[in-house]
Structure 1
Amino acid sequence: MSLLITHRCINCDMCEPECPNAAISFGAEFYEIDGDRCTECVGHYEVPTCQQVCPIDNTIISDPQRVEDNAQLWEKFVMLHHSTELAR
């Protein structure tokens, strides 16, 4: 499941540089996560780094609109980071 930044976000800029998939950017009011790029850090870390660095509890949560299992997150990771190798 991709992650979602809620309205509790204080725009502290902690999460955006930590995302290994470049999935976080500033939105209309607060930071947003691109669900097409979010792998919950599968392939990089055990725990999503954005959740680890966020100073406000329960601000970055699972997105109920984007239910994905671990296999789907791994597939997304491979496509984001190894798609040029797969094309060879």
Structure 2
Amino acid sequence: MRVSIDEDGCVGAGQCVLAAPDVFDQRDEDGIVVLLDKEPGEHLHEATREAALLCPALVIHLAE
């Protein structure tokens, strides 16, 4: 799995961080998503998929 994000579209809701904290974080100054792991291990795939589904701005893109 490869993860990419569109920072420009991020609304800072933080759902991705709650779902997959090992893959996503947020910038302190504005809450915009930070991608911690572009190729998360298999043990993180389910949480990463959930994060993408929960994102209200749909800025998380997965390639499997």
Which consecutive aligned stretches of 4+ in structure 1 deviate over 6 angstroms post-superposition? none
Match of 1:51 in 2: 52
State the match for 1:32 in structure 2.
34
Cα pair 2:23 2:48 within 8 Å, conserved: no
Residue identity (%): 12
* 1:23 partnered with 2:23: yes
TM-score by length of 1: 0.50
**Higher relative contact order, chain-length normalized (CA < 8 Å, sep 6+):** 2
Deviation for aligned residue 1:43: 2.6
Structure 1 segments unaligned to the other structure (5+ residues): 64-69, 71-88
Higher share of residues assigned strand: 2
Q: How does 1:1-88 map to 2 (within 5 A)?
A: 1-6=1-6, 7-19=8-20, 22-27=22-27, 29=30, 30-35=32-37, 38-39=39-40, 42-44=42-44, 45=46, 48-57=49-58, 59-62=59-62
In structure 2, the gaps of 5 or more residues are: none
Aligned length: 60
